[in-house]
Structure 1
């Protein structure tokens, strides 16, 4: 496979108004997406492209630039305004559009931004298509210019979020509602600031919301799934049954139980596997999908249920690709990207929160009780800033340190070093049944990485 120049593990991402997240690249990408879908369907001269966004200040610039590119190549743009990533994917499929685009940098600081693209069924594009789009962006002469009546147009579709709200609500078991529940929602001042509270309120819950006042610069700032401290305080203050935190683009979830304890994403996946098995949606021998970062304890728990567990590369797109190819209905990452393929083509924080509540009601137990049986191994993950990203097997000191850690774990744990696909980071993960040893080996590896490439 050719080396990627623009796309990372989740679209294109970087500092807004610096290459590659510039208006110029966004315009070229708008042209490329339109040209690609014209070329793959010669009978469709005017592809329909859905464009959603989160609440970053730079979204205005990139939204208009991308839309201009689509129009200049003869496509039709439908602008949704702020809408979670899973909402954009769903609306793209629901409206029978040719492609959908989400402008967001997910959980990153507001100064960053990104662009991720879906096909007409709401699925993230495979590597081969992203590489073709890169080729078009970097070689614009490959896209013949349009003139006169061949140019495209744009419109802003109001109230489109209603379609998404109905879709998410329908995923809750029809024998349940949220009447009498007290729920704290943290919407990260992001794309879900409006729709997520509406979902839970319309199902009957008493909702206490934070992170619903975006100003263009406060997305993910001390709120959201990566910063659940404020939501935890609200759960205790209001004696809520549960706290649900989503991230800036609404595709991941963190959950807090009624005692203020954060629930690990892997524990949630274990809980969901048990729920779907009990409801007959999963059967013995079916596969639940995780990644190389998934905790070994989750794998053992899934297998104890009579299910199989498969690990993909990191990134929900790779989980989804495997799920689609193998007819799996549940997959996810420790970060809270959890995919219920019968309801969504991407991770969905609001949907994940609803499914936790469904499990509480189905088993008639508190969240604390439900997740206790999913016993995870001690796991330490540390991010190291790196100057460059050489293949790790070419850095002798790092390779030797990794082998030494594996020798000490003696088959009772795992070591994984991987570069972030969106940031200049190396993630160091060590897990095993001995917490003291795991922490020591993680710290030792971090020191070696810092010395060699930090």
Structure 2
């Protein structure tokens, strides 16, 4: 069962492979063995979303942890960010969220957190995998040393209060009507309660989980129902979360979706107006809109681009002590509120920005003009960029775009891919720039490694 960790923890089909009950028990035993040390009893906290299989995996993990001497505190149905927050707040040694985020009910997954509330790093994941492979999870734990399992009945309340208390008192929704779509997932209890806690009028949809309907034609990945509800209820804005509450989509009072870069820019400007330290820059991705780049510069902030994944932006944030990040799929991190992506926290900041502005969401949540852009990913090693021919083509394309567009060429940090991003007001010029450069890179790569090249997108 080696190599079970992926970019987003452990994912797969429920009751199969690594997401079977026996495998979950082994994973818990190995993880428990990694964090277990003398001096005191160790504690693991476990939360879950609303999938039917979560009720199978929760006791399997509990059995594995208690078998190696860890106590277990069950948090129940709760968002992923809450598990990270409570892992640190309760002084736990390990946290586990049972979720497959935006995926259908038949899939599930495990996200593991360290004692600091951050997702586990590569080193600890490797230790856990080694423990599973080598049978190192077997420990000499006597009958008297077996761990205990208990429930934290007020986990959801603690999370809601923590979220509310960290928001500025100077801005409140003032009775704005908000549609909240919880994707029949982990945030069904916490998100509506938090919105009401800060004074919003709330219309709930997709807040009736049955174990099977998580993310089913609802939530952040299918926001159409939310958009329609905004219009029907004449709401001021709409919020849609995914199954574990990490991903966010928003709509204005007309039901039109708001681009994720617009949301990120809104939050950055709102926090700056409140005097909240913004850090040294805002973390985006390689495909973040050039319009966001220009807007942030006007606020005195830099847009720092990185890998397009929650884990990628979290790593970049820790490296530079940054406090705000976002990526196109709708993951936003405000690290002074949570150590991982939290759709509710981001939505509340955007909502408060609308309330403070006195203007409709359609204006407040679109603080800058999006620039038309195109991205191409070319399968090639980073050394291709040192080619004189490629460098000449880059210079030529920059000359063509001068004053009419932007160009960004970067090698991926995690795979043999070169990313070519161009943007501007002339779509034909942008398309030509990307095609010319992507084809040049692909041709040079083909000469170097004939079997491993090509334009992916």
Contact 1:377/1:431 (8 A) holds in 2: no
Going from structure 1 to structure 2, the CA distance change for 1:205 and 1:145 (only over 3 Å counts) comes to: same
1:211 CA displacement: 0.9
Q: Provide the secondary structure at the position in 1 that maps to 2:110.
A: strand
Aligned match of 2:245: 250
1:209 CA displacement: 0.8
Aligned match of 2:201: 206
Going from structure 1 to structure 2, the CA distance change for 1:148 and 1:183 (only over 3 Å counts) comes to: same
Note the 1:243-392 alignment, pairs <5 A. 243-282=238-277, 286-379=280-373, 392=379
Aligned match of 2:127: 132
1:21 CA displacement: 2.1
**Cα-Cα RMSD:** 3.5
Distance (whole Å) between structure 2 residues aligned to residue 91 and residue 409 of structure 1? 50
1:107 matched to 2:102? yes
Going from structure 1 to structure 2, the CA distance change for 1:428 and 1:256 (only over 3 Å counts) comes to: farther
Distance (whole Å) between structure 2 residues aligned to residue 5 and residue 392 of structure 1? 24
Distance (whole Å) between structure 2 residues aligned to residue 230 and residue 382 of structure 1? 32
Note the 1:6-25 alignment, pairs <5 A. 6-25=4-23
1:114 CA displacement: 0.8
Going from structure 1 to structure 2, the CA distance change for 1:438 and 1:215 (only over 3 Å counts) comes to: farther
TM-score normalised to structure 1 length: 0.85
1:123 CA displacement: 0.9
Contact 2:282/2:322 (8 A) holds in 1: yes
1:431 CA displacement: 4.5
Distance (whole Å) between structure 1 residues aligned to residue 186 and residue 376 of structure 2? 28
Q: Find the partner of 2:427 among 418, 425, 435.
A: 435
Aligned match of 2:228: 233
Task: Name stretches of at least 5 consecutive residues in structure 2 with no aligned partner.
Answer: 443-451
Task: Name stretches of at least 5 consecutive residues in structure 1 with no aligned partner.
Answer: 384-390
1:381 CA displacement: 7.0
Aligned match of 1:393: 380
Distance (whole Å) between structure 2 residues aligned to residue 195 and residue 344 of structure 1? 15
Distance (whole Å) between structure 1 residues aligned to residue 246 and residue 418 of structure 2? 21
Distance (whole Å) between structure 2 residues aligned to residue 435 and residue 192 of structure 1? 40
TM-score normalised to structure 2 length: 0.84
Aligned match of 1:150: 145
Contact 1:381/1:427 (8 A) holds in 2: no
Contact 2:260/2:327 (8 A) holds in 1: yes
Distance (whole Å) between structure 2 residues aligned to residue 69 and residue 303 of structure 1? 50
Aligned match of 2:56: 61
1:33 matched to 2:31? yes
Distance (whole Å) between structure 1 residues aligned to residue 320 and residue 455 of structure 2? 40
Q: Provide the secondary structure at the position in 2 that maps to 1:20.
A: helix
Distance (whole Å) between structure 2 residues aligned to residue 429 and residue 240 of structure 1? 40
Q: Provide the secondary structure at the position in 1 that maps to 2:17.
A: coil
Contact 1:13/1:115 (8 A) holds in 2: yes
Going from structure 1 to structure 2, the CA distance change for 1:47 and 1:394 (only over 3 Å counts) comes to: same
Give the total of aligned pairs: 434
Contact 2:177/2:236 (8 A) holds in 1: yes
1:42 matched to 2:38? yes
Q: Provide the secondary structure at the position in 2 that maps to 1:262.
A: coil
Quick check: 186-195 or 148-157, which moved more?
Answer: 148-157
CA deviation profile, 1:212-259 (whole Å, cap 9, x unmatched): 111111111110011110000000011101101111100121111101
Contact 1:220/1:248 (8 A) holds in 2: yes
Going from structure 1 to structure 2, the CA distance change for 1:254 and 1:407 (only over 3 Å counts) comes to: farther
Distance (whole Å) between structure 2 residues aligned to residue 374 and residue 218 of structure 1? 37
CA deviation profile, 1:12-62 (whole Å, cap 9, x unmatched): 111222223222221111112211111xx4323x31100000011111121
Going from structure 1 to structure 2, the CA distance change for 1:244 and 1:439 (only over 3 Å counts) comes to: farther
Distance (whole Å) between structure 1 residues aligned to residue 355 and residue 78 of structure 2? 29
Quick check: 96-105 or 13-22, which moved more?
Answer: 13-22
Going from structure 1 to structure 2, the CA distance change for 1:25 and 1:394 (only over 3 Å counts) comes to: farther
Contact 2:381/2:418 (8 A) holds in 1: no
CA deviation profile, 1:333-387 (whole Å, cap 9, x unmatched): 122211112211111111111101111123332222224332333245799xxxx
Quick check: which has more Rg, 1 or 2? Answer: 2
Aligned match of 1:388: none
